Amino acid sequence: MSGRIFEQRTTREGWGRGLVDLGQKHDDVVVLVSDNTTSTQVHFFEEIFPDRFFQMGISEQNMAGVAAGLSRFGKVPFYVTYSAFGVGRALDQLRVTIGYTPCNVKVGGGHSGISVGPDGATHQMLEDIAIVRAIPNFTVLVPADFDQTRKAVVAAYSIDGPVYIRFGRENVPCVTGPNDPFEVGKAQMMADGNDCTCIAMGQMVSEALLAHDALAEEGIRLRVLNMHTVKPLDEEAIHKAARETGAIVTAEEHQLYGGLGSAVAQVVAANYPVPMDYVAIQDHFGASGQPDELLDAFGLRAVDIVMKVKSTLERKA
Amino acid sequence: MMMNGFPRGHCMSVHERWVAGRLRWSADALEQVARDVRCDILTLLANAGSGHTGGSLSGTDYLTAILFHEAAIDPGQPNWADRDFWHVSNAHVSPLIYSVMAERGYFPLRDLLGFRSFEGHLQGHPSAHDTIGLEVSAGSLGQGLSVAIGVALAAKMDGHPRRCYLCMGDGEQQEGSVWEAAMSAAHYKLDNLLAIIDVNRMQIDGPTDKILNIEPLADKYQAFGWHVINIDGHDMNTILAAFEEARSVKGKPTVILAQTIMGKGWSAIEDDYTWHGRPPTKEEADEALLGLDANYGGWWARLEANGMMP
d(CA A189, CA A225): 5
Asked if residue B81 has pLDDT above 60, the reply is: yes
Which of B135, B140, B146 comes nearest A66 by C-beta? B146
- Interchain contact A61–B (C-beta under 8 A): yes
d(CA A27, CA A171): 31
- Interchain contact B190–A (C-beta under 8 A): no
Cβ pair A75:B142 closer than 8 A: no
Cβ pair A68:B162 closer than 8 A: no
Using the 3D structure, point to which of A108, A143, A173 is the last residue of a domain.
A173
Listed in sequence order, the residues at least 6 apart from A43 whose beta carbon sits closer than 8 Å to its beta carbon are A16, A37
Whether cis (ω within 30° of 0) applies to the bond prior to B216 is: yes
Note whether A137 and A209 are same-domain residues. no
Q: What is the pLDDT of residue B310?
A: 43
Q: What is the pLDDT of residue B21?
A: 87
Which of B129, B146, B187 is best to mutate for the A interface (most A CBs within 10 A)?
B146
Which of B81, B136, B153 comes nearest A101 by C-beta? B136
Cβ pair A70:B151 closer than 8 A: yes
Domain boundaries of chain B, sorted by first residue:
21-305
d(CA B91, CA A147): 43
B231 Cα to chain A: minimum distance (Å): 27
B187 Cα to chain A: minimum distance (Å): 9
What does residue A75 show for φ and ψ, rounded to 5 degrees?
-100, 155
B51 Cα to chain A: minimum distance (Å): 19
Asked if residue B298 has pLDDT above 90, the reply is: yes
Which of B128, B151, B152 comes nearest A101 by C-beta? B128
- Interchain contact B146–A (C-beta under 8 A): yes
Q: What is the pLDDT of residue B8?
A: 58
Asked if residue B9 has pLDDT above 90, the reply is: no
Note whether A150 and A229 are same-domain residues. no
Q: What is the pLDDT of residue B1?
A: 41
**Three-class SS of B219-245:** HHHHHCCCEEEEEECCCHHHHHHHHHH
Share of chain B above pLDDT 90, in %: 91
**What is the domain-level CATH number for residue A207?**
3.40.50.920
Does residue A180 fall inside a structural domain?
A: no
d(CA B149, CA B155): 10
Note whether A152 and A265 are same-domain residues. no
Note whether A197 and A136 are same-domain residues. no
d(CA B246, CA B242): 6
d(CA A22, CA A153): 8
Q: What is the pLDDT of residue A3?
A: 73
Cβ pair B184:A67 closer than 8 A: no
Q: Residue A168 half-sphere exposure, CB side, CA atoms within 13 Å?
A: 28
Note whether A308 and A201 are same-domain residues. yes
Q: Give the neighbor-by-neighbor strand order of the sheet with A139-141.
A: A53-55, A29-33, A76-82, A106-110, A163-166, A139-141, A229-231
d(CA A288, CA A191): 33
d(CA A186, CA A188): 6
Cβ pair A61:B147 closer than 8 A: no
Does residue A203 fall inside a structural domain?
A: yes
3-state secondary structure of B203: strand
Cβ pair A69:B154 closer than 8 A: yes
Rounded to 10 degrees, the C-alpha dihedral A237/A243/A248/A251 comes to: 0
Would you give the distance in Å from CA A237 to the centre of its chain? 18
pLDDT in tens, B106-119: 999 999 999 999 99
Residues of B in contact with A101 (CB under 8 A): 128-129, 136-137
The catalytic residues of A are 60
d(CA A34, CA A36): 6
Confidence tier at B19 by pLDDT (50, 70, 90): confident
A51 Cα to chain B: minimum distance (Å): 8
d(CA B146, CA B203): 22
- Interchain contact B152–A (C-beta under 8 A): yes
Using the 3D structure, point to which of A173, A200, A231 is the last residue of a domain.
A173
How many domains does chain A divide into?
2
- 3-state class percentages of chain A: helix first, strand second, coil last, to nearest 5: 40, 20, 35
Q: What is the pLDDT of residue B104?
A: 96
Q: What is the pLDDT of residue B94?
A: 98
Cβ pair B184:A71 closer than 8 A: no
Cβ pair A100:B137 closer than 8 A: yes
Q: What DSSP line would sit under B244-289, residue for residue? A: HHHHH--SS-EEEEEE--TTTT-GGGTT-GGGSS-PPPHHHHHHHH
Q: What is the pLDDT of residue B212?
A: 98
Count chain A–chain B contacts defined by CB atoms under 8 A. Answer: 111
Mean residue pLDDT of chain B comes to 95
Q: Give the neighbor-by-neighbor strand order of the sheet with B85-88.
A: B85-88, B164-169, B193-199, B254-259, B227-232
ipTM of the complex: 0.96
The answer to which of B19-28, B94-103, B172-181, B284-293 has the lowest mean pLDDT is: B19-28
Note whether A141 and A94 are same-domain residues. yes
d(CA A239, CA A255): 24
Note whether A153 and A194 are same-domain residues. no
B182 Cα to chain A: minimum distance (Å): 9
Note whether A211 and A167 are same-domain residues. no
Fold of B21-305: Rossmann fold (3.40.50)
**What is the domain-level CATH number for residue A35?**
3.40.50.970
Does residue A64 fall inside a structural domain?
A: yes
Per-run averaged pLDDT (10 residues), chain A, 317 residues: 84 98 98 98 98 98 98 98 98 98 98 96 98 98 98 98 98 96 98 98 98 98 98 98 98 98 98 97 97 98 98 93
Asked if residue B3 has pLDDT above 70, the reply is: no
Using the 3D structure, point to which of A173, A200, A230 is the last residue of a domain.
A173
Domain that holds residue A202: 188-314
Q: What is the pLDDT of residue B308?
A: 62
Give start and end residues of each alpha helix (H) in A81-203. Answer: 83-86, 91-93, 128-133, 146-158
